[in-house]
Structure 1
Amino acid sequence: MALGISGGALLLGTLADRLRRRGLSEALFAAVTVLFVGAELALILRAPLPSLLPWLVISIIGAATVLSYAIVAEYFLSELTGRANAGFNVLHFGWCFVVQYGTGLILDQWSVQDGHYPAIAYQVAFASSSGSRFWR
């Protein structure tokens, strides 16, 4: 995962720089978001793929959140960019808390079996949080 996110940061940073010059920063962010949701759905639905593949995609895309800060900077004057990104960061952390807390609430609807929740509990919880990640 660490290698994936490191490589993803380099890859996405390079792509973002090249696409920004063409005005396509938002298109890259949208494509990465769709790819991320697809990888999560592959795990949730137990697609007939080696599980390493969707996890690799998720780790690479883990670096994509920084793309949103660059996009926000394009909408604000340069002297307001820091404040806008700080506000956006508060929203990121707040939404992450809500999603993680909600995931825990969903998991708690099942009884622990052999020290962990059943697979269906994780599938339902992660499916619920996948939809919410798509909209943040």
Structure 2
Amino acid sequence: MAGWQGLAAAMLLFGGLSLAPGAMAQEAGQLADRPDFSMVTSKAAAQRLVREGRLVRIRLFPAELGGPADPGNLTYIPPAVEYTRQLLIGTLQRFTAEDLIDQLDVQAEYKGTSIVPSRIHFTAKHSRGGPPFEGVVEVW
């Protein structure tokens, strides 16, 4: 655990983190299978993929950090990406508990008319100042 905490502290110090499933394979020069959700342009299409196990429904601003359950905060991402997102949320929860951050902004980036975000940007900071922590979850 100390190694992960050290990594988290380094990420806070240097201000950013980008998490992507398959990133290690890409760095190794291998092809990473990346799904294309450009045709998912309706809630019905997304819910069909949820039933097939290809997407999961999440709160864009995480429930673990106070995100509301209202429809405007709901979106869909692949299950492997949800695992990656949970790792980042765990780091943000720890930073909150350690009083390193007390503000969070979460923004989704989309491609075309798809309702599945292509990236989710997290920017956390503390009201008393200091460098922000920025994390990006690559979705597709």
**TM-score if structure 2 supplies the norm length?**
0.26
**TM-score if structure 1 supplies the norm length?**
0.27
**Comparing both structures, which one devotes a greater share of its residues to helix?**
1
**Comparing both structures, which one devotes a greater share of its residues to strand?**
2
Q: Which has the larger radius of gyration?
A: 1
